[in-house]
Structure 1
Amino acid sequence: MTSSERIFQLRVDALTGNSEWVVVEGDDDSPSVDLATTSYLDMLNDNSRNKAYRLAIDNTVTRPCSVLDIGSGTGLLSMMAARAMGIQDCNDKGRVVACESYLPMIKLMRKVVHCNGMSRKINVINKRSDELKLGVDITARADILVSEILDSELLGEGLIPTLQNAHDELLVENPETVPYRAITYGQLVESSFLWKLHDLYNNELCASDGIRLVPTELSSILNVKPQQYPMHCDSLQEEIKLLSEPFKIFEFDFWKRPDSHGEAEILIKAAAGGSVNAVISWWVLQLDREGTVFYSTAPKWIKHLQTEFPGDRNWCDHWKQCVWFVPGKGLPVSKGENIHLRAVHSDISISYSLKVESQRTRNEHSIHGDDLQLTLSPEKIATYSDDNWRNCVLLAVQNALYGKDSPLCFVVDDSIFLATAIARLCNTSHIMLLFPGLRERGFQYLQANAETNHFSADCLKLLDHRTDCISINDTDGKKIDLLVGEPFYYGFETCLPWKNLRFWKERTRLERILSKDAHVIPCRGILRVCAMSLPDLWRSRCSLVNIEGFDHSVANTILGACGNLSAPKEGPMLPFFVWQCGETKELSERLTLMEFDFSKPMSSCSGKAKVDFTKTGVCHGFVLWIDWVLSAENGIIVSTGPDHRHWKQGVKLLKTPMAVGSQDYTSSVDGHSVEMEAIFDSENGDLSIQYAFVQ
């Protein structure tokens, strides 16, 4: 590796939250950065996408010319273009320039291109497209642009500024492009599930515990960020009420320079009465000029779009639908009423506002951007809206505080709910806050919300250093009576479930200032496992071989392939919302694999379980999660399993799917079982799984 190819990688210690930039050494023959959590593998396993691009490139690149591939990834589109031209070398008559800014992908692309014998046909450049210089990086403006710089919203990866620069600096006038055009569509829906993902204010009005995280006088203090949220809406089909027909929103032509700002005023007739809780949107690509090749991210219930734009699109995780939440309880509409929707796009996003024709626009809970505002993820807002979750947490805290006079309580994570609950339940408590992610903004939020919840902000203290630096002096000579966490660490919501064992690490660091009878909530963590059929997820993560005629097997290790791997390789465990993973089926009971005892300092540990299959089917892997025991005495447990949709689970996919149970579906299940062992490493927070199928 040359000095110019050194990779500076930000590494985060999951158990401490500490981060540092490190130089990753290595050469092009070994993966230097873990790309398993990216969407590259899933994208390359999307056969419908790959076929559509191949057909469109074959229709467009019909002569020797100059082709520019922006954001080229593994170089698949560049190789398609070079093959379509039939070029033997980069020359003046026909050339392909592939630019990719992410160095790990450049390293991988060079290997893929080399393995396919195309190193002399494609000029690979490690730069952003807006860094390319005519006469230096490329000899002349390109005749054809091929690109795949699209996210689920369409614009989030910088499509507009990239196209603007390309048309200004890199492309000929009126170039050919693949894709040729993109059109966004939307539909108005009613959904109580989507409502609870953003409207904590109105959901709290139904709560009986008296705690108000969103007070009436400060209704904009706690919100989700106003944006479109990618989501597999097919999984919600049975609980969504469609309130309109699909409608066209924006059209973006790749072959001409796009505008940075655009607006659309759309009149929509309500197809049914109800409350509009969300706008669900998707897009359709027209990949060639003639309009013969299309790709759509529409949900499955859009039958007429599937007929108009034919294709065999399977479940994939790299492109989903998008959800825009309508503020508050939603917009009430009657069947046949006209709804005005105003859509606005910027360089990188699309936003919406809407009103019924006979009413003025509702602004009760709109975002004003005041200094006290906190933004949390939709899943965290929904958790705080969950009566059962709130009751479990409050009961455990109430029991722990019973009989304590002026207790010292320590919130080690980012839980504004626990801090508020303790202050409200015990007005003599002293509460120390670590708030490692929220920091001062979380503290200011609690101060602003104190009066509404009937406590004095004087009982709160935000610590300005890490737990490994905290001493008895910071607690005024008093030891901790109650140490709590949800656990929830702001900014780490998408991590594997056991990364929240950071709570155990923090508790361990505070061992010296815990009182002898200190309560720790949660007091225990239970690692649970279930064998599942996950055909869609397995297909999207299986190893790559031939993609439209190009060998990609060299990419499997670095992209974290799981299925169809050669022995003894194993794929990584990855975090997913299992309920959004397409077709799923539980094949075994939910079993305890290992327990973590938070009453003791952190240590490495292991556990074993025998998983017996209770249903017939094809096992694609194991789903793992943690159930948090808030009170062992009272049996108060909060589960984060696959039927609790506000948390991600960890998924371990098999190299080869295994048929389990009886193959005669009329008889009882009598097939395989699995012996599993889990090993937790307290040094780095890693969890390893070993398994063996047995008769």
Structure 2
Amino acid sequence: LARELISQSLQSAQHCLEGQDFGTAYAHYVLVLNLAPELKHDVKEMFQFTLFKWAEELDSLTRIQDLFNCYEQALELFPNDEVICNSMGEHLFRMGFRDEAAGYFHKAVKLNPDFADAKENFYRVANWLVERWHFIMLNDTNRNLIYQKAIQKKVCSGCRTVLDIGTGTGILSMFAKKAGASSVYACELSKTMYKLACDVVAANNMEGEIKLLHMKSLDIEIPKHVPERISLVVTETVDAGLFGEGIVESLVHAWEHLLLPPKPKNECVGPDEYGQVVPAGAVIFGMAVECKEIRRHHRVCVQEIAGVILAETVEFHSPTYAAINSDETVEPYTTEKLSRVPGGYVPLTEPFKAMTVDFNDLQELKNLATRKPCKISVPVSRGGVLDAIVVWFVLHLDHEHTLSTSPTEETCWEQAVYPVQGLPGTSCYSVKPGDTVTMDVSCQDCYLRIQNVSLVTSESGMDIERNFSENTVSLGNEAELCSALASLQTTSTLDCVGKECVLESTEISLLNNVTYHECFKAAISKVLSSLTPSGQSQSMDVDSHSSEMDLKKIQDPNASDTIPDPLYVLDVSEGFSVLPVIACKFGAVKAYSSIEREHHQTALSLISEVNNLPKETLEFWHNQLEDESVLLQRPKSDKLWSIIILDVVETSGLIQQEVMEKAAISRCLLHSGGKIFPQYVMIYGMLIESQSLVLETAVQGTEPTLSLNIAPFINQFKVPVRVFLDLSTLPCVPLSKTVELLMLDLMNPYLNSSSREVKVQICKSGQVTAIPFWYRMHLDEDISLDTSSESSHWKQAAVVLDKPIQVQVGDEVILNIQHHKSNVSIMIKQ
């Protein structure tokens, strides 16, 4: 009877699959596998196929709980199936459950170390879960030593109970325990870091001596989680802007609910009868700087790009500027390692003290968020262009031990950067000795905020203030308003308040990349010209008197009223792109942009309008799609694309996911003679020795962590590829010349090889620690873009070796290059 039921269920499953009834088919397979586990091997592939199809359907119906129930059921049947684990992880990641997704990706990789999809998924999610600064900071022996000494001093002076807020790997808690604290508690909100800390504490034989809490400190209650008030809080919940990880809020809560009362002033109190915090306080410093790299990422410095005029009615800003008047809590700064910023930086003022904070003073901490901004004026000491206010701090762990994050120090820290933006044109930002930079400094929404940055100049005996945050001009003498405005050339700003458009910093640097747009303009022109019938021509730079007839007219006197079908161009490159407007200026063209955000669409429409292009020449492709998941489609049922523009490389320096799959679809949608841009991509690389990359990728044994065993646990989350690098400033020694690693042909996929070996000649003796790589994107045979160029909005990436390889001049090293889908792996063949 059982055999008959199994046979019938298998037949029913097959019948359901043919009718695309995946839910019923899945139920039949589950029944079969429960009744006959011996059939697992035979039906495994069909079961997986059915599971994935049913999961897609459940996902589209938002039946999320049913979806996960199916995967859990499947993993009970196939607990060691890496494909099911990986697929479960992908669903979890898409829904925002990164911790859980990482667990499944990690398991899939352990089950099959050669499973490329799972490895790529795990590497991408690992960057979210365990941020790279954990490795850098744990490798900073000086930072670890100073924290250890400060904690030891407090514990030895009588602080017997300790709470570590935001424990991370648990290193500060273990310092406290080793110093002799009787009770140590540690809290960590991240599930991944909490589990990691549990493993680390156990490996260092302190499992029963440190109580780890998977929660934020604001939720800790006495006596529910901690039996009584504690005498010492240790924490390093500080970011480059000091307050960005919520240290003020957590310490206010700690003083009110968790810590013993602070030591009364001028009173003799026993050492263990009052509460304390390490760090005890901080001093925040700032400095105005000129920096071309910061400028090109936060201010659009061009008025025209490849013949396209940028609308004066559009004001482009980066997210840091948008934070000034936004209701949302947006980080009001970016971060840079100034000692490694491309092109360097020039100090325009002396360093100034922006703020001091005492973490042992509850009232001061409570007042931080409510007190009025402090107005600071700083004299300009050197002429130049005011591009940013750079901020760092000195952390006072106690009276004796300090840590500085200054750009002039050898430190693992980056600095907080507040880009100055708000007025059009570079002349508005020029400063000279004798000028004064003013700003408001405050702590709001858990962030250090520097707002209303202004320049007070002295011209013709007047004080003139230029405000970079609110586009205003204020004067010491109102009667001289006209002459002052004339000298500042800001009348157009006052007369016409532009529409604000917020772009990511990489999108702004792309707008500033003239070479990129000129190359695309030339390549687009060649393709469109080749597709224009003989005797016809495309009109360039359409003027305001052109009508739709003029735009589409074939320039033949004998056929002047004939309107040709337009050539269709689709731009599906990432982010804000003016390439569709460049294409539209070639005449009989209808360009589609894949921009989705409404304010981005508005900005591009305004640019199109300023360039006198008829409204119907530019369309927004997402607005035309019935199913937005299928981006690559024909423009119309009977038409094909002349040009499809794809983004092949992420700004991080990696190949875009699924780009080769997109290219395969794109080739089927091209007009005869049509092209994909880029048509092919060359990947280049070299061998280098770089201790910096090693320290940024993995914790180096127990020495930097002062004999504590942390490295094996956090190094499980290391990734072999370091992204967002700038090779021009990376501390490294080249050991070989540049070599061609691989070609990815988007027009002719049969030319692509999945595996290739490359011989590399060693030109300098040393230790190979990494293989940086970058791309040359060929729009055609003659026009190309290099992602490592100075003006590039792309960064580079590097494969970091697990173990350095010693090489001598004249040696030959063989690299093995693997290409799987959109993933490229580079290994040294031993």
TM bracket (short chain): 0.7 to 0.9
Cα deviation, 1:60-83, whole Å, max 9, x if unaligned, reads 122352211111011100011111
Structure 1 match to 2:763: 614
- Map 1:6-85; keep pairs closer than 5 Å: 21=97, 23-24=100-101, 34=126, 35=129, 37-62=131-156, 63=158, 65-84=160-179
Cα pair 1:223 1:373 within 8 Å, conserved: no
Name the amino acid aligned to 1:462. Answer: W
Structure 2 unaligned residues grouped into runs of 5+: 1-71, 73-84, 111-121, 263-274, 322-331, 458-462, 473-492, 533-564
In structure 2, C-alpha distance between the alignment counterparts of 1:41 and 1:587, rounded to whole Å: 25
* Aligned with 1:103 (options 175, 191, 194): 191
Name the amino acid aligned to 2:646. Answer: G
Bigger shift: 50-59 or 527-536? 527-536
| 1:381–1:146 Cα change, 3 Å | same
Structure 2 match to 1:455: 613
Name the amino acid aligned to 2:135. Answer: L
Structure 2 match to 1:181: 281
Structure 1 match to 2:542: none
SS of equivalent residue, structure 2 residue 465: coil
In structure 2, C-alpha distance between the alignment counterparts of 1:503 and 1:164, rounded to whole Å: 49
Structure 1 match to 2:269: none
| 1:446–1:208 Cα change, 3 Å | closer
Cα pair 2:135 2:695 within 8 Å, conserved: no
The reply on whether 1:426 has 2:586 as its aligned counterpart is yes
Structure 2 match to 1:596: 744
Structure 1 match to 2:338: 233
Name the amino acid aligned to 2:654. Answer: P
- Map 1:55-454; keep pairs closer than 5 Å: 55-62=149-156, 63=158, 65-84=160-179, 86-87=180-181, 94-174=182-262, 175-200=275-300, 203-205=301-303, 207=304, 209-213=306-310, 215-218=311-314, 220-226=315-321, 227-236=332-341, 239-257=344-362, 258=365, 259-262=368-371, 263-288=373-398, 291-300=399-408, 313-314=410-411, 316=412, 319-327=413-421, 328=423, 329=426, 331-349=429-447, 350-352=449-451, 353-356=453-456, 358-363=463-468, 373-402=500-529, 403-404=531-532, 406-414=566-574, 416-435=576-595, 438-454=596-612
* Aligned with 1:583 (options 722, 728, 731): 731
* Aligned with 2:783 (options 607, 613, 636): 636
Structure 1 unaligned residues grouped into runs of 5+: 88-93, 301-305, 307-312, 561-570, 662-669
SS of equivalent residue, structure 1 residue 150: coil
Structure (1/2) with the larger helix percentage: 2
TM-score in terms of structure 1 length: 0.82
Structure 2 match to 1:517: 673
Name the amino acid aligned to 1:244. Answer: T
| 1:28–1:448 Cα change, 3 Å | closer
Cα pair 1:594 1:608 within 8 Å, conserved: no
In structure 1, C-alpha distance between the alignment counterparts of 2:439 and 2:88, rounded to whole Å: 42
Offset of residue 176 of structure 1:
1.1
In structure 1, C-alpha distance between the alignment counterparts of 2:804 and 2:791, rounded to whole Å: 25
In structure 1, C-alpha distance between the alignment counterparts of 2:94 and 2:651, rounded to whole Å: 16
In structure 1, C-alpha distance between the alignment counterparts of 2:732 and 2:245, rounded to whole Å: 30
The reply on whether 1:672 has 2:672 as its aligned counterpart is no
In structure 1, C-alpha distance between the alignment counterparts of 2:829 and 2:333, rounded to whole Å: 42
SS of equivalent residue, structure 1 residue 558: helix
Offset of residue 204 of structure 1:
1.2
Offset of residue 529 of structure 1:
0.8
Q: How many residues align?
A: 627
Name the amino acid aligned to 1:252. Answer: V
Cα pair 1:533 1:584 within 8 Å, conserved: yes
Cα deviation, 1:476-525, whole Å, max 9, x if unaligned, reads 4211111013557xxx644x421x25443323234433223221111111
Cα pair 1:532 1:587 within 8 Å, conserved: yes
Offset of residue 606 of structure 1:
2.8
Offset of residue 165 of structure 1:
2.2
Cα deviation, 1:595-643, whole Å, max 9, x if unaligned, reads 11111469872333112123344432110122211122xx211111275
SS of equivalent residue, structure 1 residue 504: helix
TM-score in terms of structure 2 length: 0.70
Cα pair 2:290 2:387 within 8 Å, conserved: yes
SS of equivalent residue, structure 1 residue 599: coil
The reply on whether 1:646 has 2:778 as its aligned counterpart is no
Cα pair 1:225 1:376 within 8 Å, conserved: no
In structure 1, C-alpha distance between the alignment counterparts of 2:804 and 2:243, rounded to whole Å: 37
Name the amino acid aligned to 1:128. Answer: K
| 1:345–1:398 Cα change, 3 Å | farther
Cα pair 1:150 1:156 within 8 Å, conserved: yes
* Aligned with 2:709 (options 551, 566, 572): 551
Bigger shift: 222-231 or 416-425? 416-425
Cα deviation, 1:320-360, whole Å, max 9, x if unaligned, reads 01222212425333213333232233133222312216212
In structure 2, C-alpha distance between the alignment counterparts of 1:114 and 1:672, rounded to whole Å: 45
In structure 1, C-alpha distance between the alignment counterparts of 2:276 and 2:575, rounded to whole Å: 53
SS of equivalent residue, structure 2 residue 717: coil
| 1:55–1:655 Cα change, 3 Å | same
Cα pair 2:698 2:715 within 8 Å, conserved: no
SS of equivalent residue, structure 2 residue 455: strand
Name the amino acid aligned to 2:710. Answer: H
Structure 2 match to 1:303: none
Offset of residue 37 of structure 1:
4.9
Cα pair 2:686 2:736 within 8 Å, conserved: yes
SS of equivalent residue, structure 1 residue 195: helix
Name the amino acid aligned to 1:182. Answer: A
In structure 1, C-alpha distance between the alignment counterparts of 2:788 and 2:456, rounded to whole Å: 40
| 1:687–1:453 Cα change, 3 Å | same
Offset of residue 414 of structure 1:
2.9
Cα pair 1:579 1:645 within 8 Å, conserved: no
| 1:445–1:37 Cα change, 3 Å | same
Name the amino acid aligned to 2:686. Answer: C
Offset of residue 372 of structure 1:
5.9
SS of equivalent residue, structure 1 residue 690: strand
Cα pair 1:82 1:121 within 8 Å, conserved: yes
Larger RCO: Structure 1 or Structure 2 (Cα < 8 Å, ≥ 6 residues apart)? 1
| 1:396–1:238 Cα change, 3 Å | closer
SS of equivalent residue, structure 1 residue 550: coil
Offset of residue 364 of structure 1:
8.3
In structure 2, C-alpha distance between the alignment counterparts of 1:680 and 1:320, rounded to whole Å: 35
Structure 1 match to 2:692: 536
SS of equivalent residue, structure 1 residue 481: strand
Cα pair 1:225 1:375 within 8 Å, conserved: no
CA RMSD of aligned residues (A): 3.3
SS of equivalent residue, structure 1 residue 216: coil
Structure 2 match to 1:563: none
| 1:394–1:26 Cα change, 3 Å | closer
Name the amino acid aligned to 2:685. Answer: V
Cα pair 2:86 2:104 within 8 Å, conserved: no
In structure 1, C-alpha distance between the alignment counterparts of 2:378 and 2:436, rounded to whole Å: 6
In structure 1, C-alpha distance between the alignment counterparts of 2:338 and 2:184, rounded to whole Å: 38
